[in-house]
Chains A and B, each alone.
Chain A
Amino acid sequence: MRDRHVIIAALIVFFGVLTSPIWYARAAGTTARGPEPKLPETEKACVMPVEYMRASHMELLLTWRDDVVRRNVRTWTAPDGKSYKTSLSGTCLRCHANKAEFCDRCHTYAGVTPYCWDCHVDPKSITGSGK
């Protein structure tokens, strides 16, 4: 039993590595639960039903993009008849004012990095930024 110390130390390292995902998740503040985007308090409904927006908001945004840029059409009429200005920064972010607590929470959870924000501006992010 002269190797006792070595074996115990190795066991500690082994279990440490084995349980590392737990510690990593604990340190990063993530949980096994789903993402919890913070919904706006001022509005009750989005431009489309929640289920559609959850699954297909990106397709709607692509439609809006093509409408504005390529067809010069700047309003979009929802199936319920309401009209909206087609603008990511202007319409979406007017209600979902906190991008970090809404957009980013789900996108981070899902591991996607949409490049919308490479160009489009989150009005909140620029206060005091720039050169």
Chain B
Amino acid sequence: MSISRRAFLGTAGLSALGLTGKTALDAFAQQPPHEPASTPAGTRWAMVIDPKKCLEAGDCTKCLDACHRTHNVPAIDNRAHEVKWIWKESFEHTFPSLQTDFPPDALRDKPVMVLCNHCDNPPCVRVCPTQATWKRSDGIVMMDWHRCIGCRYCVAGCPYGSRSFNWSDPRPAIAQITPDFPTRSKGVVEKCTFCEERIAKGEPPACVAACKAKALVFGNLNDPESDVRSLLRSRFTIRRKPELGTRPAIYYIV
């Protein structure tokens, strides 16, 4: 019995498809959804910010100063190269998706404190190719600066602009270096870590400790008796860009 080349190739192709097609289909079908499971039990650190209390304190920069001093954040004037952990953003830019053409006078064009949102579903973590940034079980989006290769995928991935890249050695731009905390080096991305080194000692984040107006409140979202939960119960709060599904852990009282 003889078989033509054409028939042989056809049979071989169909056989290969039959043997491997199911496996390939399963592999694609099993790709996990990007939405992770809901917050696990235990501690889930979060923050509630009251911009109006902030504004009552006037042109206050205590939290900014405390954060930047504690973490050796360089002060770079060039806006293309600046490094930010916590900063002021106008109300309209903080909440673009509110799409209200007539915000209340109390908040119109007024500054709002913004920082890393420590999202439940952080896009920066998804895109990091080296796992230099990852989500801790207590909700903190942590960074390992030893491991960062400076690809800046996370900078592109973060919808809140919370990540800054060190385009040059930051040390000359640090007025007074705090020896307890490392600086960063050129070519590394950095951001707010929710003061995980202070939390480990049982202290609140530096910005929260520095805020005399109590405009920043920090606590465990999973504890119904915590300060953040009692605020969330009693006041109406919003989060930044909720439509993106990142589920931030920073809530704003409006």
Q: Which 8 A-B pairs have the closest CB atoms?
A: A123-B179, A119-B182, A118-B185, A121-B179, A126-B177, A120-B182, A69-B144, A119-B183
**Contact of A65 with B by CB under 8 A:** yes
Q: Which residues of B contact A (CB under 8 A)?
A: 72, 136, 142, 144-146, 172-185, 196, 200
Interface Cβ pair total, 8 Å cutoff: 42
Closest to A116 in B: B182
Q: Which residues of B contact A129 (CB under 8 A)?
A: 177
CB–CB A131/B179 < 8 A: no
44-88 of chain A: CB within 8 A of chain B? 65, 69-70, 72, 74
CB–CB B144/A121 < 8 A: no
Q: Which residues of A contact B200 (CB under 8 A)?
A: 72, 74
CB–CB A65/B146 < 8 A: yes
Tell me, in angstroms, the Cα distance from A98 to B189 when the chains sit together. Answer: 30
What's the nearest-Cβ distance from chain B to residue A36, in Å? 26
Return the contact of B146 from the options A69, A74, A131 (Cβ within 8 A).
A69
Closest to A123 in B: B179
Tell me, in angstroms, the Cα distance from A38 to B179 when the chains sit together. Answer: 22
Q: Which residues of A contact B145 (CB under 8 A)?
A: 119
Q: Which residues of A contact B175 (CB under 8 A)?
A: 130-131
Tell me, in angstroms, the Cα distance from A35 to B182 when the chains sit together. Answer: 28
Closest to B176 in A: A130
Tell me, in angstroms, the Cα distance from A120 to B178 when the chains sit together. Answer: 10
